Amino acid sequence: MTESVATVATATPKGRDTGNACRLSRPGIVCPLGADHGLISSALFSASRGLRVSDDFSPGTPLSLGRVTARLVDDSDWPAPLRSRNNRLLATALEQLAPELEALKRQGIAPERIGVVLGTSTSGIGETEAAMDAQRAAVAQGTPSADSWPQSFEYRRQELGAPAECVAWMSGARGPIYTLSTACTSSAKALASARRLLASGQCDAVIAGGADSLCHMTVKGFMSLEAVSRKESLPLGAERDGINLGEAAVLFVVTPEQGGVQLTGVGESSDAHHISAPCPDGSGAEAAMRGALASAGRAPGEIDYINLHGTATPLNDAMESLAISRLFGRDAGSDAGSDSVSDAGSDTDEPRLPAVSSTKALTGHTLGACGALEAAFCWLALEHGRLPPHATPREALDPTLPTLNIVYRDRPETPPLRVMSNAFAFGGNNISLVLERHTTDPESSAC
């Protein structure tokens, strides 16, 4: 029995609509690799992990976690409903976009024409956890339950809409403002939504991206699913046994301008195979990638690099490798039935397959933030003309996976022009983005 897959492509599959420009500004990034483009790029292009071993969220069980250690914006004078670590991460990313936001003012774009679309899965849950700990302690000391909640507790901090509300409050945006929560695809879908808001004429600019912060519920929840590795994760590795968790915030200013880095394609699918496990044959992932290619008006062979979802779980890496090998291998005339993983510098290199790597080994899986974070890594790859190397050693790769063209540090540098970023979530919720670097139009006022 063949499962049906619903697919959405945000432009006509007959060809690229060059009239719908969708420029992604220089991103504001706060992640375990740092909060500065120089630091982040240095780690990204050397495959340096930003993880630290800690049992802060799993007492008695040390885990490799991607925790942000950069200085965050102080929220002590913010409105109480907006005060959370999640929003502090976003505020720190937003600070980096000051030149882009100032450019919007110079162009005379009204606040009512600026939207905010974000993705998250945690919002301010961490603050609620702290309040619940304080409440339980107060009750244990004899305080009546009704009077035991900390005076500082504000339940609205954990509302999923709080991140977008916070960014709108800080930026002054007054257009469409909302938050999406679709697990690991959330912030990639926020970028897709920004593209649609521009194409429909509802906005002249959109602040888009996402954030997730580490908390007990997230760490213990994934531990209960037996999806967390007790060691550093090994995407595509023979001994891969789960994810490392992380946190991050990433924001772009998305505008309908030519030039720079363009979001040219979006493909979304919903295969609804299982509440948490991906469809083993990769059909949902393949449908999303096909949709993104159709949306961008590109053939598979035109993609230079794919940032894998690459979680290092046995099921995800197997199905994603299968989907990529089937889609891109067929286009290239390669043997999609090959039974081994190869790397970009090996004798069995498939030069017509796009280069691939997973960056989650460097940051941890940042969940609702990962789609925007990895789009930002693709932006950096296009900006610097370099590809992020894969962190799993060659000798540790899984020989049973289909052949992929994996990037390693000794790969000859070939600047990418067109890249794809994958994000696959619970419930068979899949999205792929295509980003391209275009020559700047001298008459456009780029942000």
Active site residues: 184, 309, 365
Q: Is 338 helix (H, G, I), strand (E, B) or coil?
A: coil
| Residue 288: exposure state from Cβ atoms within 10 A (0-12, 13-18, ≥19) | buried
64 with 377: CB under 8 angstroms?
A: no
Helices 85-95 and 125-140 meet at what angle, rounded to 10?
Answer: 150
Q: What share of the chain is helix, strand, coil (3-state, %, to 5)?
A: 35, 20, 45
Nearest to 287 by CA among 318, 266, 262, 264: 266
Q: What is the largest CA-CA distance in the chain?
A: 73
Q: Quote the radius of gyration of the chain (alpha carbons, Å).
A: 21
Distance CA 89, CA 73 (A): 8
Any idea what DSSP says for residue 426? G
The CA-CA-CA angle for residues 161, 163, 166, to 5°, reads 105
SS3 assignment, position 122: coil
The whole-angstrom separation of Cα 104 and Cα 114 is 9
Find out whether 418 and 302 touch, Cβ atoms under 8 Å: yes
3 state SS of 65: strand
